[in-house]
Structure 1
Amino acid sequence: MTLPRGFKANAEREAVRLRKELGLTEGDPLSVRNLADHLGVKIVSAESLIDLERLEELERLQAYAFSAATFEIAGRHYVVTNPLRPDGRQASDIAHELSHLLLKHDLSEVRELSGTPFRTCQPEEEEQATAFGGTLMLPRPLLLSAARRGMGPTEIAAACGVSEEMARYRYNTTGVAKQARTRSG
């Protein structure tokens, strides 16, 4: 799948705009929980809704079957997270779910998993939420600022509270890696 023309540039602009609303500079890490508060979205750990043992059993049956989900109840949005995920992964999951809301995606597609129906987005909307979520946490200006200070993906991940995989992905796909090598060479 491919993102619509101009999507990445718009995502970068929107990430910068939201960060300014939160009073962050381009080099500041984003707390997705603060962004959720700013957007009026409540973050809830799944273990406050069901026993942790049930989550562990689901994980044993199908690894990564549940990372996070968004619900609207009485006009308020809730993002339910999986406490079994590392903090960096939870940040990505929250950013992904917030992206669905910011992009105004509609949970319109009904799918079935083990006989249980659930609502989801279209595959292209999932791709958009993944791309936008990564951009929210690690916009290009933040990555470029970090690279100019000699930071690589490992250091960026630690400083920004994201997974190393996410930091590496954004570092490489934004062109920052190449730009940082060119400047240092």
Structure 2
Amino acid sequence: MGLRQTDALDVSTLATHLGVKIVSAGDLIEMSRLEEIERIQAYSFSGATFEIGGRQFVITSPLRTPGRRASDIAHELSHILLKHELSEMREIDGIPFRTCRPEEEEQATNFGGTLLLPRPLLVSAARQGLTHAEIADRYQVTIEMARFRYNSTGVGRQVGQFQRAVG
């Protein structure tokens, strides 16, 4: 896609590159139904992937912030890139549905975060002294995602040690 290691990845561009169509659930059903689902169980629906007629679709919740939607899309695209299969059956209110195994969900979450905030990008941001909030704002992710990636990659510690060694 012509990106450098320190470039941010736009998930919509990645979806287009992969031939995946992103659709808001608000375009498919009434917002009142989505709001009712949210009222019954907060965050029970953020995103899902479907294959219809040989084409993949990522459905997102319009109730989420843009940063959260980016994370949800990155998560769903990660399932596609990692070639996860819907292999586990679950049932909610008597309605069966297929889902990925828990370890695949964790893989998709971690890979999705890596797609949004790759380590070299975070190192660059840390060297610039950006806070979690500034990283989130600059790269259009949630503060929680910025904090998670910053801490889980050890970037803050690495850059701090480097700055102490040269300072």
> How many residues are aligned here?
164
Q: Which amino acid is 2:105 matched to?
A: E
2:35 to 32, 56, 72: 56
CA distance in 2, matches of 1:46, 1:23: 31
Aligned to 2:65: 86
- Point out the more displaced range, 152-161 or 61-70: 152-161
Which deviates more from structure 2 when the two are superposed, residues 23-32 or residues 69-78? 23-32
Residue in 2 that maps onto 1:122: 101
8 Å Cα contact 1:29-1:159 kept in structure 2: no
Match of 1:33 in 2: 12
TM-score (norm 2): 0.95
Consecutive unaligned residues in structure 1, runs of 5 or more: 1-21
Q: State the one-letter code of the partner of 2:143.
A: E
Mapping of 1:98-177 within 5 angstroms?
Answer: 98-177=77-156
- Residue 48 (structure 2) aligned to one of 42, 60, 69: 69
Contact 1:81 1:90 in 2 (8 A): yes
Runs of 4+ in 1 over 4 A off after TM superposition: none
RMSD of aligned alpha carbons: 0.9
TM-superposed CA distance for 1:112, in Å, is: 0.7
Deviations 1:8-38 (A, max 9, x none): xxxxxxxxxxxxxx22222222110110000
Structure number with greater CO (CA < 8 Å, separation at least 6) is 1
Alpha-carbon deviations, 1:91-136, whole Å to 9, x = none?
A: 0000000000000000111101122211100001001000100001
Counterpart of 1:121, as a letter, is C
- For residue 39 of structure 2, give the secondary structure of its aligned residue in structure 1: helix
Q: Do 1:144 and 1:176's aligned partners in 2 also have CA atoms closer than 8 Å? A: yes
Map of 1:9 onto structure 2: none
TM-score, structure 1 normalization: 0.86
Distance 2:70 2:50 in 1: 18
Counterparts of 1:38 and 1:152 in 2: how far apart (Å)? Answer: 31
Letter in 2 for 1:136: L
Q: Is the 8 A contact 1:27 1:146 kept in 2?
A: no
